[in-house]
Amino acid sequence: MTVPDVTEKYAAALNTVTIGATKEQGGTRAKTITVGGSAGLPWLRFEGRPGHPPVIAIEVWDTGAETWPDQLKEAYGPAMNGLADWCRKAVEFGADLICLKLMGTHPDAGNRSPEQAAESVRTCLEAVGVPLIVWGCGVYEKDNRVLPKCTEAAKGENCLFGTIVEKNYATLVAACLAGGHKIIAESPLDINIAKQVNILASDAGFPLQDIVMFPTTGALGYGLEYVYSIQERMRLAALGGDRQLQQPILCDVGMEAWRAKESKIPQKEAPTWGPAERRGPIWEAVTATNLLQSGGDILVMRHPEAIRMVRKTIERLTGA
């Protein structure tokens, strides 16, 4: 008896997005990164073209990382004290991209100026050759003054800038159009709003193909399943031809996983939980690998041990 063929055929595929520009392309990156392009469900390679493998961006902050958990400070050592050294260390640990979060520009946490933020962007670009993600502090009024200075400082480098949201998108859209950059479109775990943000950006002149979606990330134990289901629904809608949901997906794994008490508290406070040095990276790695299964294309991560584990998983899944 022949087994019937139950493979699905999909009407459409995901967009590809390229980040970074080499000298020939008007930038100074050693190479570019391309994500997306899958024509089927994640990892079901027998059903459709698999698309580009997921990539790992390592998260660095302009200032303020003293608040990071000890395990992370130990992993990076003194390199964490200077942005350029930190970027170089991240590339040593295998970063495909650097994700610079301008947390020091937050009004309550340093209130660094737009000029200082632009200087940090230049520092990262000069320190390493991998493509750059630049992420604001999340306070709209401040980001709207900071990010345009940064898009200008990085003009020609084709960075990925974030984020636009439903209530605040016009300034960053204009800045990225002028600077030739890609955009992260953020939504609060709401697929309807995710679609709407893409439409708003597109109505304002920003091409749908130049957007990366950030549906918000929740760590293991803190909403991971809901994020999984949203990413899964986005993928199914994309494959069904919904052009406002065909954008690759970014997951903010490191920040969320290291918020959890499970990654941080020392074993003496939770004896059955095992040593924190292993527990933290595992919490981050498991969050990441779950989101890989629901179609995460760019994983923003922190701990080198978690990154090593996830890299190995990606290699096994892609058959590399």
Considering only 33, 95, 237, 301, the residue that binds another protein (CB under 8 A) is 237
Rounded Cα–Cα distance for residues 275 and 85 (Å): 29
Member of 45, 88, 155, 243 binding another protein (CB under 8 A): 243
The Cα–Cα gap between 255 and 129 comes to: 24
Out of 196, 267, 293, 313, the residue judged to bind another protein by CB under 8 A: 196
- What letter represents residue 226's amino acid? Y
Question: How many of the other CB atoms lie within 10 Å of CB of 34?
Answer: 17
How far apart, in whole angstroms, are the C-alpha atoms of residue 105 and residue 37? 34
Q: Strands of the chain (E only): list them.
A: 16-19, 33-36, 55-61, 97-101, 132-135, 160-164, 182-186, 211-214, 250-252, 298-301
Segment interacting with another protein (CB under 8 A) among 71-79, 200-208, 217-225, 251-259: 200-208
Considering only CA atoms, which of 189, 185, 214 is closest in space to residue 201?
185
Q: Is 266 in the site for another protein (CB under 8 A)?
A: no
With b for 16 or more beta-carbon neighbours within 10 A and e for fewer, the 79-105 pattern comes to bbeebeebbbbbbebebbbbbbbbbbb
Tell me how far, at minimum, the Cβ of 169 lies from another protein, in Å. Answer: 13
Residue 203, interface with another protein (CB under 8 A)?
A: yes
Q: Does 242 bind another protein (CB under 8 A)?
A: yes
Please select the residue that binds another protein; options are 71, 151, 202, 217, rule is CB under 8 A.
202
Indicate the residue among 41 and 286 with the shorter CB distance to another protein. Answer: 41
Which of 236, 265 has the CB closer to another protein?
A: 236
Query: How far is the CA of 292 from the CAs of 125, 139, 304, in angstroms?
Result: 28, 29, 18
Q: Is 305 in the site for another protein (CB under 8 A)?
A: no
- φ and ψ of 284, to 5 deg: -70, -45
CB of 243 to another protein, least distance (A): 5
- Total site size for another protein, rule CB under 8 A: 20
CA distances from 123 to 128, 132, 160 (A): 9, 11, 16
Nearest-angstrom CA–CA distance, 61 and 100: 6
Q: Which is nearer to another protein, 109 or 193 (by Cβ)?
A: 193
| Cα–Cα distances in angstroms (integers) from residue 281 to residues 24, 85, 103, 278, 307, in the given order | 38, 22, 22, 6, 8
CB of 166 to another protein, least distance (A): 9
Residue 120 engages another protein in binding (rule: CB under 8 A):
no
Q: Which residues inside 74-93 make contact with another protein, applying CB under 8 A?
A: none
Among 71, 163, 231, 244, binds another protein (CB under 8 A): 244
Q: Identify which of residues 47 and 242 has a Cβ nearer to another protein in the complex.
A: 242
Q: For residue 156, give both structure tokens.
A: 């020609």
Site for another protein (CB under 8 A): which residue of 88, 155, 233, 259? 233
Q: Which of 77, 207, 266, 274 binds another protein (CB under 8 A)?
A: 207
313 prior amide bond cis, ω within 30: no
Does residue 216 belong to the site contacting another protein (CB under 8 A)?
Answer: no
Q: Would you say 176 or 237 has its CB closer to another protein? A: 237
Task: Enumerate binding residues for another protein (CB under 8 A).
Answer: 191-196, 198-200, 202-203, 207-208, 233, 237, 241-245
